[in-house]
Protein backbone atom coordinates (compact mmCIF):
# COMPACT_ATOMS: atom_id res chain seq x y z
CA UNK A 1 0.00 0.00 0.00
CA UNK A 2 1.51 3.29 -1.12
CA UNK A 3 0.64 6.68 0.37
CA UNK A 4 2.42 9.64 -1.22
CA UNK A 5 2.69 13.11 0.28
CA UNK A 6 3.54 15.53 -2.52
CA UNK A 7 5.56 18.76 -2.04
CA UNK A 8 2.25 20.66 -2.30
CA UNK A 9 0.99 18.80 0.78
CA UNK A 10 -1.43 16.74 -1.32
CA UNK A 11 -1.83 13.16 -0.09
CA UNK A 12 -2.35 10.59 -2.83
CA UNK A 13 -3.24 6.93 -2.42
CA UNK A 14 -5.32 4.13 -3.90
CA UNK A 15 -8.60 4.19 -2.00
CA UNK A 16 -9.05 1.55 0.66
CA UNK A 17 -11.58 1.78 3.48
CA UNK A 18 -8.82 1.59 6.11
CA UNK A 19 -7.29 4.80 4.67
CA UNK A 20 -10.57 6.75 4.72
CA UNK A 21 -9.37 8.77 7.72
CA UNK A 22 -6.86 10.51 5.45
CA UNK A 23 -9.81 12.05 3.61
CA UNK A 24 -10.89 14.05 6.66
CA UNK A 25 -7.79 16.27 6.58
CA UNK A 26 -8.78 19.27 4.45
CA UNK A 27 -10.25 19.01 0.97
CA UNK A 28 -10.26 15.54 -0.59
CA UNK A 29 -11.12 14.20 -4.04
CA UNK A 30 -11.81 10.67 -5.19
CA UNK A 31 -11.26 9.94 -8.87
CA UNK A 32 -11.27 6.80 -10.93
CA UNK A 33 -7.84 5.89 -12.27
CA UNK A 34 -8.82 2.84 -14.32
CA UNK A 35 -11.51 0.39 -15.33
CA UNK A 36 -11.31 -3.33 -14.57
CA UNK A 37 -13.83 -5.03 -16.83
CA UNK A 38 -14.49 -8.42 -18.44
CA UNK A 39 -13.93 -8.82 -22.17
CA UNK A 40 -16.05 -10.83 -24.62
CA UNK A 41 -14.15 -14.02 -23.72
CA UNK A 42 -14.88 -13.63 -19.99
CA UNK A 43 -11.32 -12.62 -19.17
CA UNK A 44 -10.45 -9.42 -17.30
CA UNK A 45 -8.49 -6.34 -18.34
CA UNK A 46 -7.32 -3.30 -16.41
CA UNK A 47 -7.63 -0.22 -18.60
CA UNK A 48 -5.31 2.50 -17.28
CA UNK A 49 -5.72 4.91 -20.21
CA UNK A 50 -7.45 7.44 -17.87
CA UNK A 51 -3.99 8.11 -16.39
CA UNK A 52 -2.07 7.69 -19.66
CA UNK A 53 -1.24 4.05 -19.03
CA UNK A 54 -1.75 0.81 -20.94
CA UNK A 55 -4.51 -1.78 -20.98
CA UNK A 56 -3.23 -4.72 -18.91
CA UNK A 57 -4.26 -8.31 -19.45
CA UNK A 58 -6.26 -10.23 -20.23
CA UNK A 59 -6.35 -12.17 -16.96
CA UNK A 60 -8.47 -15.22 -16.21
CA UNK A 61 -9.34 -13.93 -12.74
CA UNK A 62 -10.66 -10.49 -11.82
CA UNK A 63 -8.49 -10.42 -8.70
CA UNK A 64 -5.41 -10.81 -10.91
CA UNK A 65 -6.48 -7.81 -13.00
CA UNK A 66 -7.09 -5.79 -9.82
CA UNK A 67 -3.66 -6.73 -8.45
CA UNK A 68 -1.99 -5.77 -11.75
CA UNK A 69 -3.87 -2.45 -11.71
CA UNK A 70 -2.67 -1.58 -8.19
CA UNK A 71 0.88 -2.70 -8.97
CA UNK A 72 1.02 -0.55 -12.11
CA UNK A 73 -0.42 2.52 -10.36
CA UNK A 74 1.99 2.24 -7.43
CA UNK A 75 5.01 1.53 -9.67
CA UNK A 76 4.23 4.52 -11.91
CA UNK A 77 3.35 7.07 -9.20
CA UNK A 78 -0.37 6.78 -9.95
CA UNK A 79 0.31 7.49 -13.63
CA UNK A 80 2.42 10.65 -13.15
CA UNK A 81 5.80 9.10 -14.01
CA UNK A 82 4.39 7.18 -16.98
CA UNK A 83 2.70 10.09 -18.73
CA UNK A 84 4.93 13.18 -18.74
CA UNK A 85 2.06 15.19 -20.26
CA UNK A 86 -0.09 14.40 -17.22
CA UNK A 87 -3.18 12.30 -16.68
CA UNK A 88 -6.15 12.73 -18.92
CA UNK A 89 -8.85 15.01 -17.57
CA UNK A 90 -11.09 12.97 -15.33
CA UNK A 91 -14.72 14.04 -15.07
CA UNK A 92 -15.51 11.30 -12.52
CA UNK A 93 -14.22 13.17 -9.44
CA UNK A 94 -15.98 13.41 -6.09
CA UNK A 95 -14.58 16.07 -3.73
CA UNK A 96 -15.25 16.62 -0.06
CA UNK A 97 -14.13 19.16 2.53
CA UNK A 98 -13.22 17.76 5.96
CA UNK A 99 -14.87 14.44 5.08
CA UNK A 100 -18.21 15.99 4.00
CA UNK A 101 -19.53 15.99 0.41
Residue 52 DSSP symbol: T
Residue 78 Rama label (left phi>0; alpha psi -120 to 50; beta): left
Q: 14-69: per-residue pLDDT in tens?
A: 888 898 888 887 777 778 889 999 999 999 999 999 888 999 999 999 999 999 99
Domain boundaries, the chain: 3-97
What pLDDT does residue 32 have? 83
The DSSP secondary structure of 57-90, one letter per residue, reads EEESSHHHHHHHHHHHHHHTGGGTTT-TT-PPP-
Q: Which 3 state secondary structure label does DSSP give 32?
A: coil
Q: What is the pTM of this model?
A: 0.71
Amino acid sequence: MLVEILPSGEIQFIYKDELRGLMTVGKSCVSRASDVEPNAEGEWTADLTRVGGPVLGPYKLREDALAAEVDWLETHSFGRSYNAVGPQENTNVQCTVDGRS
